Amino acid sequence: MTVRVRTVHTADLAPGELPALRELLEEAFEGDFDDEDWDHTLGGMHVLVSDDRGLAAHGSVILRRVGHRDRWLRVGYVESVGVRPDVQRQGLGGRVMAGLERIVDRAYDLGALSASDEGAGLYAARGWQLWSGRVCALGPDGVLRLPDEEDCTFLRPAAAGPLDPAYELVFDWRNGDLL
């Protein structure tokens, strides 16, 4: 199998690539991928892996702001990491993550993602650390705690250095799933 890896901004994806990308993600997430998930995927950098059959794997990293203690950090937030079912467990997710981690390490204060139970092992094996503190979002009515995200939020410290779990992470607000 010949594999090609490409890194590209959303603005540079060809119009025909967007429907193929959405189709891949709907297939990889077994239909549990809606319009808000799609919106969260766009607007940043994408790592695309293609094989002889076409698009095989994807992940993107977008800018988010996260408050911690007395500062707001520029966070490279990983979104929509998915692999076509027929090529799962062949290292393509790791190739996607390697590209995304390069972007996070060079362009952001910190990396963050919300892992599914199935994906948590991949991220932990790559050195992402499960956040042990509180997770919140800054919403229209103030800070809202997100207890369901507190056992699946992983961080990749970069320029920010280690964070203190005694202080919460406060993510910027967005429609749909907040993380």
Mind listing the pLDDT tens digit for each residue in 36-48? 999 999 999 999 9
List the one residue out of 55, 59, 47 whose CA is nearest residue 24.
Answer: 55
- Scan for tokens 């103030």, then name that residue: 142
Backbone φ, ψ for residue 96 (5° rounding): -60, -50
- Scan for tokens 């698009």, then name that residue: 55
Q: Residue 49: its pLDDT value, please?
A: 98
Q: Which helix (H) or strand (E) holds 18?
A: helix 17-28
Q: Residue 73: its pLDDT value, please?
A: 95
Q: Kind of pairing, strands 54-68 and 135-139?
A: unpaired
How much is the mean pLDDT over the chain? 94
What is the assigned CATH class of domain 4-172?
Answer: alpha beta
Q: Residue 160: its pLDDT value, please?
A: 67
Structure token pair of residue 90: 């062949």
Domain boundaries, the chain: 4-172
Please tell me whether residue 19 adopts helix, strand or coil conformation: helix
Structure token pair of residue 16: 């025909």
List the one residue out of 158, 149, 159 whose CA is nearest residue 169.
Answer: 149
Exposure pattern of 142-171 as b/e (b: 16+ CB <10 Å)? eeeebeebbebbbbbbbebeebeeeebbbb
Backbone φ, ψ for residue 173 (5° rounding): -80, 150
List the one residue out of 146, 103, 100, 147 whose CA is nearest residue 122.
Answer: 100
Q: What is the mean pLDDT of residues 4-10?
A: 97
Q: What is the mean pLDDT of residues 59-68?
A: 97
Q: What is the DSSP string of 57-100?
A: EEEEEEEEEEEETTEEEEEEEEEEEEE-GGGTTSSHHHHHHHHH
Q: Residue 31: its pLDDT value, please?
A: 86
Mind listing the pLDDT tens digit for each residue in 139-151? 999 999 999 999 9
Whole-model pTM: value is 0.94
Separation between Cα atoms, residue 5 and residue 68, nearest integer Å:
34
Mind listing the pLDDT tens digit for each residue in 96-134? 999 999 999 999 999 999 999 888 999 999 999 999 999
